[in-house]
A = this chain, B = another copy of it.
């Protein structure tokens, strides 16, 4: 896994220096897996542990961590860039289920799109390397509410 030793090592391998700020930013993203924090939220959380940090550093660090592939950005079209930890064993990114009722965002880890990518290659001569999929609908709780109405 990505423990602190690896974190420092990965940075150095890519020619970047290890700093406390970078560690703190990475920690916050990792400790809040599944919450899809945006840059500002990450900034606030890092400041709790490291109050001197500046916004610019957080933005620069997030860009750097994305560049080295340790995190990646998702866009839920709410005006914020949100971040998740990369899991190296994921060939493709997981899918998001976004509830139109309560706004919850859940994740589906299964890769359901393999056969579709074959169809796209056959029919459109387009070789898919990755995909981003968002399903909008109603989660179990909101479905129940709808029936009750």
Contacts and interface: CB of A to CB of B under 8 A. Distances in A.
A112 B126 CA distance: 15
B127 A137 contact: yes
Interface of A: 73, 75, 77, 97, 99-100, 106, 108, 110, 112-113, 116-117, 119-120, 123-140, 143
A34 to B, nearest CB: 15
Given A75-B75, A77-B75, A119-B112, A136 B129 contact: yes
Contacts of A127: 137-138, 143
B120 A131 contact: no
Contacts of A132: 132-134, 136
Contact of A100 (B108, B129, B136): B129
A132 to B, nearest CB: 5
26 contacts: A73-B77, A75-B75, A75-B77, A97-B126, A97-B128, A99-B126, A100-B129, A106-B124, A108-B120, A110-B119, A110-B123, A112-B116, A112-B120, A116-B116, A125-B140, A126-B137, A126-B139, A127-B143, A128-B136, A129-B138, A130-B135, A131-B133, A131-B135, A132-B134, A132-B136, A133-B133
B100 A120 contact: no
B137 A130 contact: yes
